[in-house]
Structure 1
Amino acid sequence: MMNKFNLLLLFILNFLFFSCGSNNGNKKSDFSLKLDQNKSEFKLNQSLKASIVNTKNKNLDSVSFYIGDQYLKSSKNGDFNLDLQNVLLGNQRLKAIVYSEESPDTLTKNIKILNTEAPRVYTYEVINTYPHDVNAYTQGLEFHGDTLYESIGQYGKSKLRKVDLESGEVLKEIKLDDQYFAEGLTILGDKLYLLTWQEGEGFIYDLNTFEKTGTFGYNQSEEGWGLCNNGVKIFKSDGTEKIWILDPETLAEKSYIQPTTHKSVATKFNELEWVNGKIYANTYQFPSVAIINPKNGGIEALISFKGLKEQLGNTDSLDPNNDVLNGIAYNSNTDKLYVTGKKWDKIFEVKIVEK
């Protein structure tokens, strides 16, 4: 058994170790990061000017500038001037790592980068309608070939199903355990990925058999909303301003974009769909779909589906607050786009036209 002297010595060593670490971590920097005109909001393609304030005139070796983890450029004198072109939009952190005669200092400033132009505005034409189960609280909708796959939410009622578009017939279906609220889905290869809402995990199914073959955690995000993929990467919304980009092998949240207009950063994007190189995303409880640039998060266009709900045959039985537009499916074989909603009695084939 350890004697009192050894216990005392161990306590003193631990105290010194943690005290030294704390002092080093809280050391006040001799430098500060200053933005030109104290500006914190910028637009894509504008110039961002910053400088390092060196109050004690220490010798600077160089300064490296980043937005988040994206390296931008280095400076010898601490001055920084960059045209914001190939950068991510949204709420970002400008970071400067100062290399001087002492250990490197890391300085940060919160900035916001907005899109340059207002989103284009589109409306729609209904080309055709197809039957949809009025009990289906639609969360995810996606084609694989010409076959439609749908995830249905709500606790105790969540399902995954394979559907014939023309007839509305359910070709295959499984029910989730009652503790799960199903959310968005996407198909990559022979695997189907399904989110749950607040349960912190997603499920992986064999596309043909619907046999569950694995699960994945959400890591940094707390909720699951929508999923889509571009054949290589998987994109996931969580109700916040972030659309996460997942590693297709591990499903880990590796990075994210923030859907952003010329005025603000947007939130509450629910169902996602990959359409001709863009992300289509509906805003929960609004009859609209945003067209998002997956490279930087810019909202390039908005599709208004106002009036579509009034074309349903079961409007009297719908909850106006919850039974809303939700469900976007693009058939790449036919270049046709379809939308529906929670407990709607129709799936609409639509043509998008400029307003």
Structure 2
Amino acid sequence: MSMSHHHHHHHQEAEGGDRRMVLAIIVNVGLTFAQIVGGIFSGSLSLIADALHNFSDAASLAIAAYARRIARRPSNAAMTFGYVRAEVVAALINYTTLIVIGLYLVYEAVMRFITPEPVEGWIVVGVAVVALVIDLATAFLTYAMSKESMNIRAAFVHNVADALGSVGVIVAGTLILLYDWQIVDPIVTLAIALYILWQAFAEIGGSIRMLMLGTPSGIDVPQLIDRMSGIDGVVDIHHVHVFAIDEQLTAMEAHVVLAESHGAQTELVKARLKALASQEFGIGHSTLEFASGEACCQGEDASIVGHPIRGSSGERHRKTGHLH
């Protein structure tokens, strides 16, 4: 596949994804207005509350879609890494709002255990069915993209949470209207809230880790250093930093000390180190700085992640890397 053809295919995929996102936003905004009108005419506060919940869905989709567009902007002098992390920021915002919604639903459920509120007729259940259909349609539109992007996944989880909310209203409302089981409503609400919180807390760590320049999960840095140190001619490796630029690209920077005898073979050693990092650890971008001579870190310190700092009160070692 030629480079231009690949780029064209990727561009088509991005545009297709954008269209699905816009359609999902329009559908959710339409449902929000329908629920507000239904709520006013039926005098149902719960319908208007559900409309606001749906509006949060539309907002989460809008944030995700906008972040997708920003992420495709090319890098410039002000943003040398480009804008790819806009999607990570959007994911963090959306998971944070999910946690707030989850905590609010826990509060609502507890209050309803204390003072039960009656469900206001079949109209509420009917609109919940419509809402469920819309939420499932939105989830369907975003599901494929959610596998590859934490940003879209956050919006997708918003929709799944909302679909569960609609299922909860249908089940609880039907049981209350048929059998007057008032306790079902807060129980279902609490179950949905706990599911939302579990999902949000499970996913939010990934976006925080990436923004904090954490080592991507699945990469064992001591093992990486050990394997790189085994390359012929490498005396020492330090100042090793492994981080994710975005969800697809992992980068590494390191300071490599070569044996004096290999001073002329820098390019060969560099190629071997980069190939090892790429093939065994999935690191797509490596920046390596070379020096030749004796290691500046001796003995047990030769392979530590950072650079040892020797203070006045004996030798203290700090294992976090620092910049030159």
Could you state the TM-score of these two structures normalised by the residue count of structure 1?
0.22
Higher helix share: 2
Higher strand share: 1
Larger Rg: 2
